[in-house]
Amino acid sequence: MIPLSYYLILSGVLFAIGMAGVLLRRNAVAVLLSVEIMLNSANLNFVAFSRYIAPEQASGQIFALFVMAVGAAEVAVGLALILMIYRNMQSVNLDQFNIFRW
């Protein structure tokens, strides 16, 4: 069997990759893409744990299902917001959204 630690480290790396995208990308939609990467790495983590620690209970899988649902909802609402912003500011470049600046 593949050791559990491999899955965990992999999911950590994927999470870091996704986070890098969230922090560094300037386009709002690209940030959403990166958020999806993060969510999925977390899902991987859940399912891996569930398979190795308590396989007869599939609770990790169920939780991963919930994460998926919420993530989909979040993407929908997020894109709606981005569309509104685009309509008002003609741009989705995050560099330009600094109204709360000092």
Partner 1 sequence: MDYLSLIVLLPVLSFILLVVFGKRLGDKSAYLSILAVGTAFGLSVKALLDVMGGARADLTFTWLTVGDLELTFGLLLDPLAGMMLVVVTFVSLLVQLFSVGYMHGDKRYGWFYACLSMFTASMLLLVFSPNFVQMYMAWEGVGLFSYLLVGFWFEKRSASNAAKKAFMVTRVGDLGFAIGLIILFLTAGTLDMSQVFAMKFAPETASLIAILFFFGAIGKSAQFPLHVWLPDAMEGPTPVSALIHAATMVAAGVYLVARAYPLFEQGPAAMEFVAIIGTITAFMAATIALTATDIKKILAYSTVSQLGYMMMGLGVGAFAAGTFHLMNHAFFKALLFLGAGSVIHAVHSQEIFDMGGLSRKMKITSLTFVIGGLALAGIPPFSGFWSKDEILLGAFDGGYMGIFAIGLLTALFTAFYTFRLIFVVFFGKARGHHADHVHESPAVMAVPLILLAVLALSTGLLGSPFTGYAYQSFILGGGFEHHTNYMVMGLSIGVAVLGIFGAWLKYSTNLLPSNVLSKNNIVYKLLVNNYYIDEIYEFTLVRPTHAIARYVLTFDQKVIDGAVNGVAKATARIGGGLKYVQTGYAQNYALVMVVSVVVLIIWSFRAMELF
Partner 2 sequence: MNDIVSHVIFFALAVLAVGSGVLVVTGRNLFHAAMFLGLYLLSIAGYFFLLNADFIGIMQVFVYVGGVVVVLLFGIMLTAQLTNVRLTSAMEQRWVTIVSLVGLVGLLVFVIKDTVFRISALAPVEDTISFIGRMFMTDYILPFEVISVLLLAALIGAVIIAREEGGK
By the rule CB under 8 A, 47 interacts with partner 2: yes
β-partners of residue 28 are none
The residue count of the chain comes to 102
Residue closer to partner 2 by CB (options 56, 99) is 56
By the rule CB under 8 A, 19 interacts with partner 1: yes
By the rule CB under 8 A, 34 interacts with partner 2: yes
- Binding at 10: pick from partner 2, partner 1, none (beta carbon under 5-8 Å per type): partner 2
Least distance to partner 1 from the beta carbon of 87, Å? 20
Q: Is residue 99 within 8 Å of 88, Cβ to Cβ?
A: no
Dist CA 98 CA 59 (whole Å):
42
- Binding at 88: pick from partner 1, partner 2, none (beta carbon under 5-8 Å per type): none
Dist CA 20 CA 51 (whole Å):
28
